[in-house]
Amino acid sequence: MPAQGIERRRFARYDVVQAIYIEVVTPGSRRETENPIIRCETVDISMHGLRITSPERIEPGASLNIAVPQDGWVENLELHGIARWLGEADDGINFWVGLELLDTSRDNMEKWFVIVSKMKES
């Protein structure tokens, strides 16, 4: 969890458990194949962020490409973000990671807002 458990959320969060894929962009990497890709799960989501569980450490400040499966894994919504905090998950094996979403494209962010809005209605 964030340092000293300080609540910094500005947007409502919604509990959503879904598999996603995170590409950790290594500074100076020339090809995407040089970057590790980690299968993670969302814990909760908001308009501008996510909390995920990850089997690997994703250090705060890491630049991330995020693939959110759509339409039964037929296509992915691709977002960009940054890891803001890292903590040990309750199971003592995995990690909780707080992600801030950055505008990748207006179209992608609009699609993300639709996903979050649907979660509000559920």
What residue numbers bound the domain in which 72 lies? 10-117
Count of domains forming the chain: 1
Does any domain span residue 4?
Answer: no
Does any domain span residue 69?
Answer: yes
Mean pLDDT of the chain: 82
Does any domain span residue 2?
Answer: no
pLDDT score recorded for residue 108? 81
Three state DSSP letters for 25-83: ECCCCCCHHHCCEEEEEEEEEECCEEEEEECCCCCCCCEEEEEEEECCCCEEEEEEEEE
**Mean pLDDT of all residues in 3-14:** 59
Does any domain span residue 105?
Answer: yes
- Burial class from Cβ neighbours inside 10 Å (0-12, 13-18, 19+) for residue 4 reads exposed
Better-scored residue on pLDDT, 48 or 116: 48
Specify the pTM.
0.79
pLDDT score recorded for residue 5? 46
- The confidence band for 10, taking pLDDT boundaries of 50, 70 and 90, is low
Does any domain span residue 122?
Answer: no
Q: Find the CATH number of the domain harbouring 46.
A: 2.40.10.220
